[in-house]
């Protein structure tokens, strides 16, 4: 049976799809590209980075930026694929181990979170990269289901965690019931247990409640989650309801999960006074490190300490993600880890 590895398992690299002047990042392009370059250099200290660029000219500029940020040349790969945007978590490949133990990449469909944004080029990125040999000999399997990588979490042992409305959605998968979607995910991902949440949301999120903004597996028996303790906060009711759902969940052995709360940062607002989706559950695990989004916020230190205890065997590294949340996502959203044996 297939197996969907947990994020803490060995990786062959991390994929980043770079912003350019034909994306929504245009008005802060230099600022966000500096963040990408620093992130690529940082990840490159631990494992290779696949930098996806829209064309050859863009790739040359990205190569120079990453080099200027101090990245070792042998840690960086460059692929060319036209793109609408930069959310690699949701348009990138999802890796599984096959019955024989070899890696396989799945190419689920991506439609801009239910048609909210143009996604025709993003939907083709994985196939384009595979066709150009960026994933070596790893086979690619198309899946006729809209599924964003940020919508699912796994313990690496057959359990899948998701918010129902991010998959059972007429704008994403019209006419499909939860049972039908479970059958597809059981076949393609090897999922044997499904934990569905009906609650959970943070303000400013365009994804309808991606699980990677709310709850994350930190070990097969441990979940960390966004908690709000302020009844006056707009997110209080949904996060409190989600917390009650989490308390009711059981692991494969019938035991409650160990639940570790993450703080809610003080609201971060854009220039129009609208709240941005700042949160700490959007961290990224890489080989030997956990990269934690920060927001120059009083809660940053608590989040770093909490995740440092949960991942005591990894280096904890903060990443200032204030540029990213201006477009509705954070650190995990712009990155996609590639399982061991995938990156050429």
The span from the CA of 91 to the CA of 324, in Å, is 17
pLDDT at 177 over 80: yes
Q: Domains along the chain?
A: 11-339 (3.75.10.10)
As a whole number, mean pLDDT of residues 322-326 equals 97
- Cα separation values, 288 from 10, 124, 189, Å: 9, 31, 25
Give the rounded percent of residues in the chain with a pLDDT score beyond 90.
Answer: 99
For residues 209 and 166, the answer to whether their CB atoms sit within 8 Å is: yes
Edge-to-edge strands, sheet with 289-294: 284-286, 289-294, 315-320
Cα radius of gyration (the chain)? 19
Where helices occur in 124-235 by DSSP H, the ranges are 125-131, 178-189
pLDDT at 221 over 90: yes
**21: number of Cβ within 10 Å:** 10
Residue 87 CA from chain centroid, whole number: 8
The span from the CA of 259 to the CA of 195, in Å, is 15
Give me the pLDDT at residue 1, please.
Answer: 92
For residues 62 and 78, the answer to whether their CB atoms sit within 8 Å is: yes
DSSP-based three-state secondary structure for 280 = coil
Q: What is the mean pLDDT of the chain?
A: 97
Confidence of residue 344 (pLDDT cuts 50, 70, 90): confident
The span from the CA of 217 to the CA of 221, in Å, is 8
The span from the CA of 36 to the CA of 124, in Å, is 22
Q: How many CA atoms lie within 13 A of 229 on its CB side?
A: 5
Reported as a single tens digit per residue, the pLDDT across 261-303 is 999 999 999 999 999 999 999 999 999 999 999 999 999 999 9
Nearest to 51 by CA among 22, 84, 88, 25: 88
Reported as a single tens digit per residue, the pLDDT across 136-160 is 999 999 999 999 999 999 999 999 9
């Amino acid at each position: 049976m297939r197996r969907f590895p947990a994020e803490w398992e060995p990786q062959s690299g991390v994929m980043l799809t770079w912003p350019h002047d034909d994306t929504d990042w245009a008005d802060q392009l230099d600022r966000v590209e500096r963040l990408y370059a620093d992130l690529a250099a940082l990840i490159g200290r631990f494992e290779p980075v696949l930098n996806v660029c829209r064309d050859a000219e863009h790739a040359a500029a990205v190569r120079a930026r990453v080099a200027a940020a101090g990245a070792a040349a042998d840690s960086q790969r460059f692929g060319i694929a036209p793109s609408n945007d930069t959310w690699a978590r949701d348009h990138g490949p999802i890796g599984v181990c096959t019955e024989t133990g070899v890696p396989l990449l799945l190419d689920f469909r991506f439609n801009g979170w239910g048609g909210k944004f143009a996604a025709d080029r993003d939907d083709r990125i994985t196939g384009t990269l595979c066709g150009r040999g960026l994933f070596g000999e790893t086979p690619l399997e198309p899946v006729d289901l809209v599924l964003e990588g940020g919508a699912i979490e796994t313990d690496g042992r057959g359990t899948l965690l998701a918010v129902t409305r991010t998959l059972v959605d007429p704008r994403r998968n019209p006419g499909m019931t939860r049972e039908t979607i479970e059958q597809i995910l059981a076949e393609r991902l090897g999922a044997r247990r499904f934990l569905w949440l009906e609650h959970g949301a943070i303000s400013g999120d365009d994804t309808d409640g991606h699980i990677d903004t709310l709850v994350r597996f930190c070990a097969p028996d441990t979940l960390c989650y966004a908690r709000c303790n302020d009844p006056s906060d707009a997110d209080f009711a949904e996060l409190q309801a989600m917390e009650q759902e989490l308390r009711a969940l059981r692991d494969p052995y019938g035991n409650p999960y160990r639940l570790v709360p993450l703080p809610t940062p003080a609201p971060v607002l854009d220039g129009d006074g609208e709240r941005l989706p700042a949160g700490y559950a959007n961290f990224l695990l890489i080989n030997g490190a956990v990269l934690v989004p920060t927001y120059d916020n009083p809660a940053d230190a608590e989040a770093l300490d909490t995740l440092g205890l949960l991942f005591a065997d990894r280096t904890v590294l903060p990443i200032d993600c204030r540029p990213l949340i201006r477009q509705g996502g954070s650190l995990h959203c712009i990155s996609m880890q590639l399982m061991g044996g995938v990156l050429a």
